[in-house]
Copies of this chain bind each other. A is one copy, B any other.
């Protein structure tokens, strides 16, 4: 990204790359699939003009910070985004990881400010949607309004998944399987996946200690469930992983 951009590239107005392009990228096409069925080209153009491609961001860069004024949601186009809050004592609490195709910023609508930080874990590019504009457009396109309601509704349930009292094994298995499924839904391999986040981030997200994550992964490998090497992970026994994760993922 260009040097000199100092605060909240997502929150701040950003220039669109390839502003003369009239094609949707894959992510945009996904995000707008709801309106592309049965709507005219005017609607599609309306949607297109409020989309900006921003990035790339390098690992560690902040996409937005807690407290920044909210004015846009964003779909991850490439890379992985971590959302987290930091308390007064500087302790971080990881809220989630967002893979390509997934939307960030929905939890900022309520207070008109982002309630968490968003940090690139690797090289990230985004599709940025001005929220006031997309809300206005949603008034005219019932399909878009419905899509936004559903995106928001789905996020309510996701946040509650790890609230239960699950064992370290169950949490770890659910984490692996969730990543696998979400990658698979985007056309990546369901068996081999890359973990772009540190063990400490996984642990924090799952409510465990980093040492516990390390130990559980090692034991999973000893038991033939997975093969893990650094941040590359292969699922060998999806059935047993699924059995462990079932109580967490509810299926």
| Residue in B closest to A107 when the chains form the complex, CB atoms | B156
* A148 part of interface (Cβ distance < 8 Å): yes
Chain A positions 32-89 with a Cβ under 8 Å from a chain B Cβ: 85, 87-89
> A87, B250: Cβ atoms under 8 Å?
yes
* A145 part of interface (Cβ distance < 8 Å): yes
* A230 part of interface (Cβ distance < 8 Å): no
**Number of this chain's copies in the complex:** 2
* A109 part of interface (Cβ distance < 8 Å): yes
Interface hit among A10-18, A134-142, A221-229:
A134-142
| Residue in B closest to A148 when the chains form the complex, CB atoms | B149
| Residue in B closest to A132 when the chains form the complex, CB atoms | B146
Indicate the size class of the contact surface on chain A: 35 or more
Interface residue from B89, B153, B247 paired with A87 (Cβ < 8 Å): B247
Q: In the assembly, what is the distance between CA of A238 and CA of B148, in Å?
A: 39
Interface residue from B93, B140, B156 paired with A159 (Cβ < 8 Å): B156
* A190 part of interface (Cβ distance < 8 Å): no
| Residue in B closest to A142 when the chains form the complex, CB atoms | B139
Chain A 95-129, CB-CB to B under 8 Å as 1, else 0, gives 10000000000111110000100000000000000
Known: A87-B247, A149-B148. A164 touches B110 (CB 8 A): no
On A, residues with C-beta under 8 Å from B are 85, 87-89, 93, 95, 106-110, 115, 135-136, 138-140, 142, 145-146, 148-150, 152-157, 159-160, 162-165, 207-208, 246-247, 250
